[in-house]
Structure 1
Amino acid sequence: MAGLKWIGATLGWSLGGPIGAIIGLAIGSLGDAMSDKGNLLGSGNPNTQQKQEPKYRSRPNYRTQQQRRAQTTSGDFEVSLLILASVVIKADGKQDQRELDFVRNKFVELYGKDRANKAFKLFKKVSNQSISTRDVSMQIQQMMDHSSRLQLLHFLFGIAKADGMVTDEEEDQIHSISNYLGISNRDYSSIKAMFYNSVDNAYTILEIDKSASVDQIKKAYRNMAKKYHPDRVEHLGEEHKKGAEDKFKQVQKAYEFIQKERGF
């Protein structure tokens, strides 16, 4: 099998640490030449390639952490998503075909059929491994910006809901991942509410109480629209910017629902 030069951006921090070990093992089982690891998952654009830092530090200082988060690439996000998706799918003790189809279809939507097919082959190899959710999530928390981590969480809920319902085991696993990712309970509840039907969901999505005033509602909408705006993940590539539109639309729908309910 030829080298997997299909992600479109060179991997950065995910070449090291627990994620690098998982991907390296998966690539090895696919028969790829490990000598090609420098461009393992992306040929990259010569105008946008960034210096790779394969070594993972468990306790980076604040300045280094912020600098590295700015270097997260589409490839870093994609392999992080692959690994966490495999964890959520196995959370209830089985791999439902509808959830597997959701992952594959989402990759087709984001990256196109050819790249999605290759990504899914890697995904299946990753799924066969025993993965430390804490170690992987902590690496992501230290290296990936907040907006990208929120996008990961939204995708994981989408996987869990693909078979029609989110089981308790899946929700517990996603909540655990969210905590390791350093996502606040309010942000977690906001994204979770996008996948459940409840009269209070619109308020939860905007991270406010039902007793909020009109001015508070308007302010919350502005804040959430900024937080979930697709431009916040434009550094991951146009494909992920499009994927972030789902969250943004949910915020708009929540605000419109409250506007209609409260009559303003």
Structure 2
Amino acid sequence: MRHLRLAAALLLVVLLPLAVSAADGKAAAAPAKAKAPAAPPPAPPNITASMAKGGCKAFAALVAASPDALSTFQSAADGGMTAFCPTDDAMRAFVPTYKNLTADGKASLLLFHAVPVYYSLRSLKSNNGVMNTLATDGSAKNFNFTVQNEGDKVTIKTDASDGVARIKDTVYDKDPIAIYAVDTVLEPVELFEPAESPAPAPAPVADAPKASKSKKASHRHVADAPGPAGDDAPPADQRKSSKKNDAAAGASCLRWLAALPVAVAVAAALA
């Protein structure tokens, strides 16, 4: 009996550590099985709702009313997109022009306001140049514009306008989507007449070379200088007096000639 108790005690000493080690192993394995699944990526924002909140309600409403434009905007949002929505002030004057476009023209105009690449404002400033838009369809429909800096501002230039559109505010900026409010509607040259280039200023007419003083003097008419008076010519004032005396002498001779016939007649009568 005593031997049995001793054997049981020895067995307990051997088996107890093994049981404790197994329990610890199970406890350590339990947290691995309870690991939570990775959270799914956040859903892209509602493009039109974000535009409306950023002061582009009129433009957002036009996008929402165009099935083609809306579906293209939503598809582009998954892969990355930068949109430029005109403010309500900019759209107010443009709506009559928009209504005169065809359905395809309206969709193209709306898609012309986004590029299929995500650009933060900082990266946009360093990536100036020509960009394709969501409206670009191969070489048949270019629908591109030019991004350039103007001081600290980012501007967008199209061939259909003399001016530029300027980014006013950042509406939404979280990779892979950025939305910026611009102060002018972007007009693609595919839908509107290209802006006329200003006529070059006429070239200045070169002034005729001025004649030198020596040439001017040679062309100036110089009156002939009076020749020297003769030695026997009287002074000018004396010439005037001699003319008067000659006239008086002539008159006296005429009176004597007129009286001569009368004197002859008197003499004959007395004879």
Question: Do the two structures share a fold, i.e. TM-score over 0.5?
Answer: no
Identify the TM-score tier after normalising by the shorter chain. under 0.3
Q: Pick the structure with greater CA Rg.
A: 2
Structure showing the higher strand proportion among its residues: 2
TM-score w.r.t. length of structure 2 = 0.25
Larger RCO, structure (CA 8 Å, separation 6 or more): 1
TM-score w.r.t. length of structure 1 = 0.25
